[in-house]
Amino acid sequence: MLILTGPSGAGKNTVAVELAKQSSRCAVIDVDVVRWMVLQPHKAPWEGEEGKAQQRLGVKNACALARNFINAGFDVIILDVLSDDTARLYKEELKAIGPKIVLLLPTLNEINRRNTNRETRLKPEEVKALYYQQQNLTEYDLKIDNSHLTAQELARQLMSMD
């Protein structure tokens, strides 16, 4: 089981698709999608106590989904922008499974370039803040600067981890 973290534009979704292609049965859980199930009031993790509570609820819901998929025989990849707190929560909630947390951290220039080519809900200052928050993350198993890696190259590298 793999958890991919990194700032907006790090390539989490793109590499997850490449990884899923290598599996006969794979579920990808995008925690942003899980969090957007809360519509009223939807709060981002940095929006006070309610935002933090919704972030933790998103982690717990993603873990419940992951356990259900794993019990049904699927490989699971979770996509989320982690904090040290949520990384520890994933490790605690999924300790029987032993997830590997991989931090994808291209350069800030590369993140900015990628984010100009995509539809994003984040403001430029939020992208920058998330980048620095991810740069300071300590709770992960592997950190990869994928500034100059294609999604296919990165997927091959991650597949060789197992």
Question: Tens place of pLDDT for every residue, the chain, 162 residues?
Answer: 999 999 989 999 999 999 999 999 999 999 999 999 999 999 988 899 999 999 999 999 999 999 999 999 999 999 999 999 999 999 999 999 999 999 999 999 999 888 887 776 678 888 899 999 999 999 999 999 999 999 999 999 999 876
Note the pTM of the prediction, 2 decimals. Answer: 0.93
Give yes or no for a cis peptide into 41 (omega within 30° of 0). yes
Helix (H, G, I), strand (E, B) or coil at 117: coil
User: How high is the pLDDT of residue 46?
Assistant: 86
Number of CB atoms found within 10 A of residue 52's CB: 17
Give CA–CA dist 71/23, Å, rounded: 16
Collapsed DSSP state (helix, strand, coil) of residue 3: strand
Q: Which pLDDT belongs to residue 107?
A: 96
Contacts within 8 Å (CB) and 24+ apart, 27-30: 27/65, 27/66, 27/69, 27/74, 27/75, 27/76, 27/77, 28/76, 28/77, 28/78, 28/79, 29/62, 29/65, 29/66, 29/69, 29/76, 29/77, 29/78, 29/79, 30/79
- Class at the top of the CATH hierarchy for domain 2-159: alpha beta
What's the pLDDT at 57? Answer: 96
Phi, psi for 26 (deg, rounded to 5): -145, 135
So what's the pLDDT on residue 117?
Answer: 75
Return the pLDDT at 123: 82
Residue with tokens 């793109």: 14
Q: How far apart are CA 2 and CA 142, in angstroms?
A: 11
* Predicted local confidence at residue 120, as pLDDT: 65
* Other Cβ atoms within 10 Å of 140 Cβ, number: 20
